[in-house]
A and B are shown apart, each in its own frame.
Chain A
Amino acid sequence: MILYVLKRVFQAAGVMLFVAFISFVLFNYVGDPVNNMVGQEATIEDREALRERLGLNDPVVVQFSRFVAHALEGHFGISYRLQRPVKDLIAERLPATLELVFTSAILALALGIPLGIYTGLHRDTWLSRLILSSSLAGVSLPTFVIGILLIYVFSVSLNLLPSYGRGEVVKITGSWTTGFLTASGWKAIILPSITLCLYQLTLILRIVRSEMMEVLLTDYIKFARARGLTDRAINFGHALKNTLVPVITVTGLQIGSLIAFSIITETVFQWPGMGFLFIQAVHFADVPIMAAYMVLVALFFVIINLIVDLLYFVVDPRLRIERTVTIG
């Protein structure tokens, strides 16, 4: 077990180094940050001097090894755009993204599972058809269209909810802020979290529905019916439990992509999270932030994958036996 974990951690470090290197190579194509940092009056010599000072003239490999060396010491440099340490900026933005992702995940589960069960049990009612066809819209409409649509309906026309920002936030410790403790914070999170959750919601709904339909045809359900159990006990006690395994797997993996791909939602709603920080860094060619963000997202994926792998290990006894065989 320990050997297995160590092996995975070792692999993870390799993956992250690789991601960091690829992103460094890509940065060469993002453009020149120096132009954004100096005024248009700067002479060519001034620009060259700044490039030299920032080490942008060095070969990619040299820049990369410098980045890794600094990262190991725990600092990622200073943002070219905001003149603040990247570490602090990410620490400040992380809570916003995590709150958004957390709320979206909860929403997706809380709505996706019941709707999936309903449509699985009552396949041919008009309500099921309505839910299914509108869920199709949820996956096929691009996120920014949904976001803008929600803004125009709920902010501009109905004037109910704010169109941008995170509302009032309360500081908990250090740089950790939360919008969950204020009314305006709750109001602000509604539209972005709906926008972000729609895709996952549809995914969960459809998985639960198809799993439910499959499970209902199995022998043990037939046996349960033969025993004369109530519909309720069969549907929720026996069938649902078995449909949840793939749902948990998918949700786990989707959380990673929610964190990584909240960029668009954050941009539309001016949600001050990490994705938003990243997209602005790209516009500015703010290399220190881009590098740190890439590594951080890689880290999230690696950790989540590791946890999922370990969960399989714990949940599925068959895996354990096979492992002992192969290791032994």
Chain B
Amino acid sequence: MYLHSRAPKHTISNVFIISEDENQPREEANMRGFIFKGIFVVFLACVMVTPATAENVLRWASQGDPLTYDPHSANESPTIGASTQVYEALINRNWKLEKEPSLAVSWKIVNPTTWEFKLRKGVSFHDGTPFTAEDVAFTVKRANGETSEFRNYIKSVVETKIIDDYTIQLITSGPNPILPDQLTYVFIMSKKWCEKHGVMEATSFKDKEETYAVRHANGTGPFMLQLREPDIKTILVKNPNWWGLKQNPHNIDKIIYTPITNAATRVAALLSGEIDFLLDPPLQDLGRIKKNPDLKVQQTAQIRTIFYGVDQGIKELRSSNIKGKNPFKDPRVRKAMHMAIDIDAIHKKVMRGMSVPANVMTPPGVHGYPEDLDKQRPPYNPEKAKKLLAEAGYPNGFEVSLDCPNNRYNNDEKICQATVGMLGKIGINVNLVAQPKTLHFPKITGRKTDFYMLGWGVATLDSHYVFTYLLDSEGPWNGSMYHNPRVDELTRAMEVEMDLGKRDKMIREVWEIITEEQVYIPLHHQVIAWGMSKRLEMPMEPNDQPQFRWARLK
């Protein structure tokens, strides 16, 4: 699953400190004269003072800034990533994305609609107030509020029952087998702190003033928010009282984050040593970063698959020369398109090796991922594709527009351009419409596109998340307008199925149906790369959110 993840091995550690220690006596012996001695004393003083106050400062950058530090206010990946440094959920995911106890030490099902959580004792928030079940109950209420963006993760919980200070029951409206997965996104806030600062509800955009929680944070997490200047600089400092310090003995005292929008400037900052870690180096610059003796590149498969969707629900396509019928309704047309895309060429030329060709729209690491189906991608075969098209009744192909984002996924527009040429070879004349994401996504959610590119990450790491959004006939992102009563039935049944074995079978059935029918046209799983200083060691998470609690600086 972790492709090419190069375990960084460093043979030279603490080079500088060692050499300084060795050199000093020798230098002293060579020194002659008062002035030199004076200089040396000053130098020595500096050297001696520096280690005493030396902090391990980690400077890093990426393209965008977190939108807010209110952990219930913006459901966006970089923002969640920022929240996880400062706040903690009841259940956390480790760097392999497996669930592990965090603020809850254990959890169990009491009855199909009741989960019981035992909470960790002796944990306190950054402001010193102890963490208790009260805070969990409060957080559930806040995250369920009207202005919260995290309602979807917690809306099944209708009631909280505090048993004692360190035991709480969450009562759900119906059976919810994936509640623990959803809870990894519900960050616990302090009830007292929220009351004190009037932030009982997540920020609403109708407000005229910002709320206190936008630029201040009080979690239980490994780092504390010291300074927050949106778009300019964010400084976190080590939480010396963090409960998890023993299990995760990181040595980062301070983290300085700067968003750098321009890709070339970002890379320059890394190359010139102004930052130690770059989250999102452009693919074309990876070679240059690798060549630098002080830097390294780490890469892993991301939890995101890129694919094309076609509208197979509408009677007549909006942008096609075929009138009176919709070619995409015929699975043979979809199969022909899938076969006509030379995914290896895209992998090598467009993605520079930074992709894993796919046959299903979910990557490894997601529960229910059908590995065998994913490996059965039909080989590139334009002749066969042409035959399939002819069989379907389109020997001369047809015209259609492809909607493509140009600022969302790695090389998104370039992939679409390559696809235009490949589909042209089998007679499908594609008119490419590449637009920024703010224009592209509303077309999918508003059902205004015939043929589009989409990438899907899986927040809950469960296949159900893919089905309910992309395949259920009422799925908000089901721009394909796919409607299969069996898939709908299975998707809804797995929401309440507490028998995990039965549930897995349902997941498998859906994957088989949609692969057989070629509902979507999968391209590849995205691979992410980090550029970093060789001084830094940090395991990579497939969700592209760096966790500095596991970092070590040399």
Contacts and interface: CB of A to CB of B under 8 A. Distances in A.
Interface of A: 30-44, 47, 50, 53-54, 75, 77-78, 80-85, 88-89, 144, 148, 151-152, 155-156, 159, 162-166, 267-270, 272, 276-277, 279-280, 283-285
Nearest to A70: B208
Contacts of B451: none
A47 B477 CA distance: 12
B31 interface: no
A36 B211 CA distance: 20
B207 interface: yes
Given A53-B206, A83-B214, A32 B442 contact: yes
Contact of B268 (A36, A54, A151): A151
Given A42-B476, A44-B445, A156-B272, A85 B67 contact: no
Given A83-B214, A151-B268, A155-B268, A38 B75 contact: yes
Given A82-B231, A151-B265, 11 more contacts: A35-B442, A39-B75, A42-B149, A43-B476, A47-B476, A54-B205, A83-B67, A148-B264, A152-B268, A156-B268, A276-B261
Given A82-B231, A85-B208, A35 B265 contact: no
27 contacts: A30-B438, A31-B442, A32-B439, A32-B441, A39-B150, A39-B152, A41-B75, A41-B152, A41-B153, A42-B149, A42-B152, A47-B476, A53-B206, A78-B207, A83-B205, A83-B211, A84-B214, A88-B210, A151-B264, A151-B268, A155-B269, A156-B272, A163-B268, A163-B272, A166-B232, A276-B231, A280-B261
Nearest to A166: B232
Given A36-B438, A84-B214, A272 B264 contact: no
| Complex A-B, nearest 3 residue pairs according to Cβ-Cβ distance, in ascending order | A31-B438, A39-B75, A31-B439
A241 to B, nearest CB: 43
Interface in B245-283: 258-262, 264-265, 268-269, 271-274
A269 B264 CA distance: 10
Given A44-B445, A159-B273, A267-B262, A84 B210 contact: yes
Interface in B267-304: 268-269, 271-274
Given A83-B70, A84-B214, A35 B208 contact: no
A35 B441 contact: yes
A144 B261 CA distance: 13
B230 A84 contact: yes
A270 B67 CA distance: 17
Interface in B122-163: 149-150, 152-153
Contacts, number: 154
B76 interface: yes
Nearest to A38: B149
A263 to B, nearest CB: 11
A37 B264 contact: no
Given A83-B205, A270-B259, A35 B436 contact: no
Contacts of A279: 261
Report which residue of B205, B260, B442 has the largest number of chain A beta carbons within 10 angstroms of its beta carbon: B205
A104 to B, nearest CB: 18
Given A75-B208, A267-B261, A280-B231, A155 B476 contact: no
Contacts of B230: 82, 84, 89
A270 B269 CA distance: 11
B203 A83 contact: yes
A118 B261 CA distance: 40
